[in-house]
Amino acid sequence: WFGFNTEPGTFRGDGSEQIVVFTSENCGNNCREAVAYLRASGMAFEELKLDANEANTKLFRQLGGADTVPYLSSGYQKVTGFYPQDYLSVLAAARGLSVLDESMRAVYAHHFDKNNIPLLVMYGTTWCVECAAMREYCNDRKIKLVDWDVETDVAAAKRYEQLAGREYPLVFYGARRMNGFSDTGLRRLMKQ
């Protein structure tokens, strides 16, 4: 499960990302919808139920799971709860942009340079404290950041809406998504 790194993640024997979703019987619709979404995607994934299964619960905790399911892990990416756009990002990162429909491929294309190299992009605002912290973090470390202000850039605002942004900043490194900012999260996002 843990691949080639000491940080917990889900990987296949060949080093590619393994998609795993943790569920529970008492989770209800969120877990059912998450599993149905993954099945409909046609992507290979493994569902691990936590109900009275100590091995699954131990792995869930090792991967950073706390108390909320569904919990999706793919490589180092983690998603708590079920948010279709977050899951879509995980699928695109794991298997390529071909899993996206044409309109979403056009949105995600903004997250890559002309040579298809991932860009670090942020959908944010001028008043957002976490956005300012991310700008400072990247500036201090000479990390190139494409910084879109969704309040002044109409095209960026439309992409933010299409990506179902829920908070600021909404950060992408290529297809990989991070909601909010933390230095640990950003390092994990850019590491894969």
Q: Give pTM, 2 decimals.
A: 0.87
pLDDT band at 63 (very low <50, low <70, confident <90, very high): very high
In a domain, 13, yes or no: no
Same domain, 87 and 108: no
What six digits make up the tokens of 139? 């500036």
pLDDT of residue 3: 40
- Do 169 and 112 share a domain, yes or no? yes
| Average pLDDT of the residues of the chain | 93
For the cut 80, the answer to whether the pLDDT of residue 181 exceeds it is yes
pLDDT of residue 188: 86
Select from 30, 63, 94 the last residue of a domain.
94
Contacting residues for 118 by C-beta, under 8 A, at least 6 apart: 111, 112, 173, 174, 175, 176
pLDDT-based confidence at residue 1 (cuts at 50, 70, 90):
very low
pLDDT given for residue 48 in this prediction: 97
